[in-house]
A and B are shown apart, each in its own frame.
Chain A
Amino acid sequence: QKEVEQNSGPLSVPEGAIASLNCTYSDRVSQSFFWYRQYSGKSPELIMSIYSNGDKEDGRFTAQLNKASQYVSLLIRDSQPSDSATYLCAGDQAGTALIFGKGTTLSVSS
């Protein structure tokens, strides 16, 4: 299994819907996880980080971590066209380099 895996998509949702992005990870990745958003032609920017089991909410974004299932997710409520981007899941590797999944492309239609 690759260290961090994501469904490449594209994931298409209508404006106002909930977008659900998922990520699984292997034992080589430690227990800190990060969600980045990347617009076309731009560099990744951090949206959320999560370190503990359970949910973490920030505005319209909720990150969920389930360590037993090695599963991380990002929910985007009230999706907007401006949320259309590629979302990268990343896991920490011993406090040095983050290991990234290949990203899920989200398209929000108005």
Chain B
Amino acid sequence: DVKVTQSSRYLVKRTGEKVFLECVQDMDHENMFWYRQDPGLGLRLIYFSYDVKMKEKGDIPEGYSVSREKKERFSLILESASTNQTSMYLCASRDGGPTDTQYFGPGTRLTVL
């Protein structure tokens, strides 16, 4: 059974704090992704990684950074959290072919006060 796990289901942080969101997949997938989902805006891609230590900006990378030191783990970092980063954050992984399924983690609901 495929699995993508995220470190927290709910997180509350203060403005200006550094925030780490962790994601682990057990499927040996090449590609990993971070999305945020907001009402009316849908899923928006923040960053993705196609290999260890490789990363690519998505549609909304501003205010975020990522780290992929091991194939199974992809971290999203909010360097200085702001209230407009309050959102649902979804991690996903996928192998490298155009017909391969993308699997999502359970999501982290982040609230920045």
Contact = CB atoms under 8 A, between A and B. Distances in A.
Contacts of B90: 43-44
A50 B15 CA distance: 43
Given A42-B106, A98-B94, A92 B42 contact: no
Looking at A30, A45, A94, A102, which has the most chain B CB atoms within 10 Å of its CB? Answer: A102
Given A43-B105, A97-B48, A102 B98 contact: no
Q: How large is the interface on B (under 10, 10 to 19, 20 to 34, 35 or more residues)?
A: 20 to 34
Interface residues of A, number: 24
Interface of chain A, main secondary structure: loop
Interface string A95-108: 11111111100000
A90 B33 CA distance: 14
A43 B105 CA distance: 7
Nearest to B48: A97
Given A43-B90, A45-B104, A96 B43 contact: no
B99 A92 contact: yes
A32 B104 contact: no
B98 to A, nearest CB: 5
Interface string A45-75: 1100101000000000000000000000000
A49 B42 contact: no
Given A43-B90, A103-B42, A98 B106 contact: no
A34 interface: yes
B104 A95 contact: no
B45 interface: yes
A99 B45 CA distance: 8
A97 B33 contact: yes
Given A95-B98, A97-B31, 15 more contacts: A30-B98, A32-B98, A32-B99, A34-B102, A43-B105, A43-B106, A44-B90, A46-B102, A51-B99, A96-B31, A96-B94, A97-B33, A100-B42, A101-B42, A103-B42
